[in-house]
Structure 1
């Protein structure tokens, strides 16, 4: 039974021996690349990446041990079997070959039966290695898919609560180090329960998916992040965004939602789906925490709902000259489309 074909780099400076060995390898179905010096062989190895090297110890210029070491340095994580050829049958030569990176040894003159047995064994090792690599790659891909799914909301395709918390923690630390403002927005669909009760949960799911697409449209910067925080509530993280930028963002979002005009059959606010949102903008210091940001954004969201919904409130934090925390509330009314203080 013939072994699977391999590409074999044969390095032999004696032309007669090279020709005979190449003929034998070809007869068993292998593709043979030939080189007479170590440097020529190294160039072939780097460009052709053969499955196996068979190389003489004695070569013009650098010897076979040098070539083996160069191959091991260049191949990275990919293992290429190396069989040394030598007329010297003693333990020191064998040890030096193994130390240089060789895997096996053939003593000249080479027996065709022994050669084929060696090739068969190495082919089997290569097959097992390839199977292990394939299994490892499948496991890595599966782990990546699992990791991705653990951070993604199934319904909307946005980040989930876990992804939101991790991203907020990361961006808080980065904005703190870079002395840049950070804006957090919590918003939800107004009277979403009445939406579901009036036309059903299937349409409710489609509504959340439509809102998710709109949120993606307004989160244009690579660092902006939007997640489904829970139920009909969404979280938006805007690094390096001051209060004015946050208000501009909120106006753009409200305008987009109003223009889209997704019907809401049982809303006391408008004939279309609307959003209420709470915004907090901070210049993070050592006392700023993820929990405090979420709490303030949630308080602003609650205020927006109390004030009649279909609007965004901003809860700004900044230090005055006495280093006491000042709190300011600002509102964006989607009907008026302008900034008003409350």
Structure 2
């Protein structure tokens, strides 16, 4: 097994746990919600739901909670059904669910754990015990979150890696399809990077990749935008809900920003300094298209930019 080196400066932001973890309390009895609220209100951000459907809506349509305290017996959707549905959705499958219930039968506890719960607490709750268990499972969640984040980071540049891009592309494709929104992809290649490595050495090549990565990342401020290392000297920028009119100026600015770095590239037949070529594709997802169509269109546009002399932007036909 090999491990990627992650600089401490990149790890530091990932190690900071939220000051007030988000707890969702789900119970059809207000008195039970009030009891748990009093236990956690001082150091947690509390959200409440009085039925299963409301709980699912809060998790799927807003910022998901860090942990859920869930009753089993409720009208409509019971707690077991809610937990199973949460576990089948990629957006909520990793949220720890602690069942807090008046049920005391061991078979109920077994069913709760089989449904995906991480713990089972019987009512009336002991405040010290429930706080300790919540703290334990929040700690485990944040540790697992950190490991997942590290698995999605490119060790050299600190950007998202290819695996993260592939997963995010699928998620954003589905989201933009639901909303009938455009999805833009910028595919970027460092011009004549092999010649750069041959001339200046691989250590300088690594520094070049890091400089370009930092320039690309600095150009995007929206939380939903993703900048990733696609492989070798290729990078991608995924821009949800972004049409061609908005994506093209961004692409032009990236080409100019990399050129402005002024990194010498004396072996380049294109320019005396380092440059990039860039392809743009924009698609409004629908049933007749696939995420792969977006990647192929951006790649074809990038190829066109290279064929036309590099250090420029080309766009795929609008669709």
Indicate the structure whose relative CO is greater, using CA pairs within 8 Å and at least 6 residues apart: 2
Other-structure match for 1:195: 196
CA contact (8 A) 2:156 2:206 kept: yes
Equivalent residue pairs, number: 209
Other-structure match for 2:248: 247
The alignment's TM-score, normalised by the length of structure 2, stands at 0.58
Other-structure match for 2:227: 226
Q: What is the SS of the residue equivalent to 2:238?
A: strand
1:169 and 2:140 correspond? no
Return the alpha-carbon distance in structure 2 between the equivalents of residues 100 and 145 of structure 1.
33
Other-structure match for 1:283: 284
CA contact (8 A) 1:161 1:229 kept: yes
Return the alpha-carbon distance in structure 1 between the equivalents of residues 159 and 166 of structure 2.
13
Report the CA distance between 1:282 and its aligned residue: 1.5
CA contact (8 A) 2:184 2:281 kept: yes
CA contact (8 A) 2:173 2:291 kept: yes
Other-structure match for 1:33: none
Which of the two has greater strand per residue? 1
Report the CA distance between 1:316 and its aligned residue: 2.3
1:267 and 2:276 correspond? no
Alpha-carbon spacing, 1:141–1:292, altered in 2? closer, same or farther (3 Å) = same
Return the alpha-carbon distance in structure 2 between the equivalents of residues 268 and 47 of structure 1.
68
CA contact (8 A) 1:243 1:316 kept: no
Other-structure match for 2:313: 312
Other-structure match for 2:259: 258
CA contact (8 A) 2:152 2:161 kept: yes
Q: What is the SS of the residue equivalent to 2:316?
A: strand
Alpha-carbon spacing, 1:259–1:176, altered in 2? closer, same or farther (3 Å) = same
Alpha-carbon spacing, 1:177–1:135, altered in 2? closer, same or farther (3 Å) = closer
1:158 and 2:159 correspond? yes
- For the aligned residues, what is the CA RMSD? 3.3
Mind listing any 5+ residue stretches in structure 1 that lack a counterpart? 1-41, 50-72, 80-98, 104-124, 319-342
Return the alpha-carbon distance in structure 1 between the equivalents of residues 218 and 165 of structure 2.
18
Which entry has the higher C-alpha Rg, 1 or 2? Answer: 1
Q: What is the SS of the residue equivalent to 2:287?
A: coil
Mind listing any 5+ residue stretches in structure 2 that lack a counterpart? 1-33, 42-70, 72-96, 101-121
Report the CA distance between 1:217 and its aligned residue: 1.6
Return the alpha-carbon distance in structure 1 between the equivalents of residues 139 and 125 of structure 2.
30
Return the alpha-carbon distance in structure 2 between the equivalents of residues 169 and 313 of structure 1.
24
The alignment's TM-score, normalised by the length of structure 1, stands at 0.54
Return the alpha-carbon distance in structure 2 between the equivalents of residues 181 and 78 of structure 1.
40
Return the alpha-carbon distance in structure 2 between the equivalents of residues 304 and 48 of structure 1.
57
Alpha-carbon spacing, 1:102–1:140, altered in 2? closer, same or farther (3 Å) = closer
Other-structure match for 2:216: 215
Return the alpha-carbon distance in structure 2 between the equivalents of residues 101 and 224 of structure 1.
46
